[in-house]
Structure formats: C-alpha cells, structure tokens
Amino acid sequence: MGVMTATSSPQQPSGPSLAEIAARLEADSAEVSAPAQLPDATPRVEPAEGLSRRRAARRVDGAWLGGVCTGLAAHLGWPVLVMRLVFVLLAPWQFLGVLIYGVLWLVMPLEQPTEAPGLEAASRTGMRTTQQQVRGADVGAIVALIMLAGGLVWLMQTMGMGWQPTVFWPLAFGSVGLALVWRQADTAGLVRQAGRRRWFGWLRVVLGVVLVALAVTIAVATQTGIEDLPKSLAVGAVALLGVAAVVAPWAFRTRSQLTAARERQLLADARADMAAHLHDSVLQTLALIQRQSDDPKAVAALARKQERELRQWLYGETRDDSTLHSAITAAASEIEDERGVPIDVVVVGDDVPVDGSLDAMARAAREAMLNAAKHSGADRVDVYVEGTDHSVEIFIRDRGKGFDPGTIDESRMGIRGSIIDRMTRNGGRAHIRSSPGEGTEIRLETQR
C-alpha cells in the first residue's frame, strides 16, 4: 500500500502556514462562487443597506389572519393585543374594522425575511437544515376567531344594525370566499408550498371560488327571481367563458414573459454584485498575497483580513454603526489590521446604542486593545463584551508579558489617562489585572 492514496493531499512544497492559508482562502473563495452560478427562480429582494425601513409591513410570524395587526403593532410599538382590540371594536360599526383591515391587508407589503447572502445560498443548495419557521397557526385560535366573528355578525344582524338579508348573505359568502382566495394568493407568493400544504392551498382556492359563485347565484336569484336563475347563470357563464377565451393566450404569454424577464434581471443583478464583490475583495487580496508570498506574516495578515471581511459579508448581520457591539468590533478590526495581531471579539447579551458614557467606554476598550496588541507581545487578544439590563462589561485579555499594575510608569500613559481616568470620569470603572509573565486582563464596567 502506498503512503498516499487518491485523497491524500498533494504535499505542497511551501511552508505549512502558507499552504494552510492558501487552502483556507481557496476554500472561502470557492464558497463564494457557488451562489453566483445558481439560477434561482425566486431570490428575495434585499433592501438596500442604509435605507431606513420605516414602512409598516405585514408579519406572518405570530399573525392570526393576514398579519396586519402584528405588523402595525411592530411599526407603532404598541402591544399586538391593543391593535387587535381596536379592529374588533371598530367592527360592529358598519363592519368598519373589517373593511379597514381588508384594505390594509391589500396595501401593506409583506415583511420579507432577509439573510446574509452566504446563508441564503447555503439554504438554497441544501447545505444547512433550516427550521421551517412558518408557524402553523394555532387551530384553537382560528376556531375562536371564527366563532367570535360569527357571533359578532349574528349579534349585529339580530340587533338590526347590519344589512338586509338579501344583501347580507351574498355579501357574507362573497367576502369569505374572496378572503380565502386572496389569502392563498398571499401566502403562496411567500412560501413555496409542497406536499400536503400545497393540496391544502388548492382546497382553499376551490372552496373560495365555490363560495363566491354561491354569492353570485344568490344575488342573481334574489334580483331576477328563482325561475329565471338557470338562464341568467348560463348567460353569465357564457360571457365569462368568452372573455376568458379571448384573454387567455395573451395573459399567459404576458405572465411567462414577465416571469422570465424578472428571473433574468435578478440573476444578472446577483451575478454582477457577486463579481464586483469578488473583484474588489478576494481578487485584490490574492494578488497581494502572490506579491508578498515570501513574507508569511504579511500573508497571514492579508488572509485574516480578507476572511473577516468575506465572512461579515456572507454571514454577518447588517450592522448598525451606532451600537456598542459594532463599535467594539470595528475598533478590533482596525487594530488588527494595523498591528497584525488577531483580536477575537465575542459579544453577548443586549446591544446598546453608543452614547455618552458608553462612547467613553468604547474608546477605553479601543485603547486597551491597542495596548495589548502593541506592548504585550501576545499572539492573540481576546475581547468579551457582555450587556445586561443593569450594566455593560468589557474584558480585554492577552497572554503577553504583562506588567506590574502598581507601577504604571510614564511610558504607560495610555493606560492611566485613556483607560482608567476616562472610565472614572464617565461614571464607570476600569480594573487592571496583570503581573509580569502572566499577561494582562483589563475589565471595564459601566452601569446603565
């Protein structure tokens, strides 16, 4: 048996670190190219970054009906229950609540969940098991809602606040039928349903159409009299068929053209974005690495920077620049690039907007990271940020040469002035633990 089989690695002649880095980078860039080649019929449209999204959108998650209440509640910052109550209370008044709800349902766009491109690509290609979060609405809640609505309508009808029966029944059947069909069209656009759910969807459409037909029948019957019903219906049906026959090919072609055009456009956009991104980032880095291939340290720094950036782009959340987490992460990346020492940031708990004392804290943390990267001689710095309801803590730790905190001399002005004093001035505290040979840990704390 040979020492190497088909799978074993070709032994790269260069040093292990370089080979490893190149391999990693290659792996990364291979992963990036994957999404670009995927023809995807329904990519979600990403909201442009930095665009403020202060528009109310319906939310499927946690919704009872169309998600209007949940969407409005999230938009206004009110409890969902209040929104629901408002609509229910408006309902008895000539069905005003129902009407408004219906209009909002049509007008408000559906909230589109977005994910980082890498994660979306991984989901599409089946590289990860995504939890199906389209929560099947609670059967109990739906039954309760229907009973409530039925009771409400019955109450209004018996109290004489409603409409005449000749108008009411067609209207009731018609609106229930329309609601069923519209709801189906609504959710089908969002989630491509499969198996049992798809069958359920068709059932819903058929039921809705039947109800609408029933409504039309009743309306016609009450207007023209029951004996003329078959004739009127036949006339209506023939007219409909005629219109459908004339319009069908045209509608079909328009529809398929529209779909094809949209697909092409989205695909082209995605490809262009991807190509631009790869060109701007990965290709530049690869070129730099080739030119500096005799300097392992520079290569490592380049690879790490590129890796961080690509990972942020592929998997990262869109970060808001004004929060503590993003401020610390940004400072860490900056120092990492500047000094060539890896800084690992772990954030836990609530993210908070950077203001007053927290701004000072972020600056102090930056100074501490810089100190560690510059003076400690450690090959790595660990930063840990934890926010609770009462306080924010940041730990900056290195395993470098350390010093005696009792004798912070003049050369370590950064620690006294930029960290300890700055924290105290802003109502926080800085605690420094260090001893020669043991490394340093700086703990910053601010009450909220």
Partner 1 sequence: MTDATTPTTPAAPATPSRFKVVLVDDHAMFRAGVRHEIGPLVDIVGEGADVATAVTSVLTNQPDVVLLDVHLPGGGGGEVIKQVHAKNPDVRFLAVSVSDAAEDVIGVIRAGARGYVTKSISGRELVDAVRRVAEGDAVFSPRLAGFVLDAFSGAIDVASVDEDLDRLSQREREVLRLIARGYAYKEIARELFISIKTVETHVSSVLRKLQLSNRHQLTRWATDRRLV
Binding site for partner 1 (CB under 8 A): 1-12, 16, 19-20, 23-24, 26-28, 30-31, 61, 113, 116, 118-119, 122, 125-131, 133, 304, 307, 311, 314-317, 344, 346-349, 380, 382, 384, 386, 395, 397, 441
Longest dimension (CA), the chain: 106
Q: In the complex with partner 1, which residue's Cβ is closer, 234 or 348?
A: 348
Q: In the complex with partner 1, which residue's Cβ is closer, 170 or 387?
A: 387
Nearest by Cα to 324 from 356, 359, 349: 359
Q: Find the shortest distance in angstroms from Cβ 102 to partner 1.
A: 28
Q: Find the shortest distance in angstroms from Cβ 440 to partner 1.
A: 12
Q: In the complex with partner 1, which residue's Cβ is closer, 27 or 41?
A: 27
Q: Find the shortest distance in angstroms from Cβ 32 to partner 1.
A: 11
Q: Please state the φ and ψ torsions of residue 45, each to the nearest 5 degrees.
A: -85, 125
Q: Find the shortest distance in angstroms from Cβ 283 to partner 1.
A: 17
Q: In the complex with partner 1, which residue's Cβ is closer, 7 or 411?
A: 7
Q: How far apart are CA 273 and CA 328, in angstroms?
A: 28
Q: In the complex with partner 1, which residue's Cβ is closer, 263 or 337?
A: 337
Q: Find the shortest distance in angstroms from Cβ 134 to partner 1.
A: 10
What b/e sequence results for 110-147 when a residue is b if at least 16 CB atoms lie within 10 Å of its CB, and e otherwise? Answer: bbeeeebbbbbbbebeeeeeeeeeeeeeeeeeeeebee
Nearest by Cα to 15 from 302, 379, 290, 293: 293
Q: How far apart are CA 331 and CA 265, in angstroms?
A: 38
Q: In the complex with partner 1, which residue's Cβ is closer, 87 or 366?
A: 366
DSSP assignment of 333-390: HHHHHHH---EEEEEEE---B--HHHHHHHHHHHHHHHHIIIII--S-EEEEEEE-SS
Q: Find the shortest distance in angstroms from Cβ 44 to partner 1.
A: 14
Q: In the complex with partner 1, which residue's Cβ is closer, 72 or 122?
A: 122
Q: In the complex with partner 1, which residue's Cβ is closer, 181 or 370?
A: 370
CB 20 within 8 A of CB 303: no
Tokens linked to 401: 């040469």
Q: In the complex with partner 1, which residue's Cβ is closer, 126 or 230?
A: 126
Q: How far apart are CA 48 and CA 396, in angstroms?
A: 35
Q: Find the shortest distance in angstroms from Cβ 279 to partner 1.
A: 21
Question: 3-class SS at 424?
Answer: helix
Q: In the complex with partner 1, which residue's Cβ is closer, 338 or 379?
A: 379
Q: How far apart are CA 281 and CA 303, in angstroms?
A: 11
Integer Rg of the chain from CA? 32
Residue 75 to residues 56, 70, 112, 323, 329, Cα–Cα distance (Å): 5, 9, 15, 21, 29
Nearest by Cα to 440 from 401, 386, 383: 401
- Indicate the helix (H) or strand (E) that contains 425: helix 422-425
Q: Find the shortest distance in angstroms from Cβ 65 to partner 1.
A: 20
Q: Find the shortest distance in angstroms from Cβ 127 to partner 1.
A: 4
What is the number of other CB atoms lying within 10 angstroms of the CB of residue 277?
Answer: 18
Q: Find the shortest distance in angstroms from Cβ 10 to partner 1.
A: 7
Q: In the complex with partner 1, which residue's Cβ is closer, 118 or 162?
A: 118
The number of CA neighbours under 13 Å toward the Cβ of 206 is: 6
Nearest by Cα to 266 from 115, 34, 46, 30: 46
Question: 3-class SS at 33?
Answer: helix
Q: In the complex with partner 1, which residue's Cβ is closer, 176 or 381?
A: 381
Q: Find the shortest distance in angstroms from Cβ 289 to partner 1.
A: 15
DSSP 8-state symbol, 281 = I
Q: Find the shortest distance in angstroms from Cβ 424 to partner 1.
A: 22
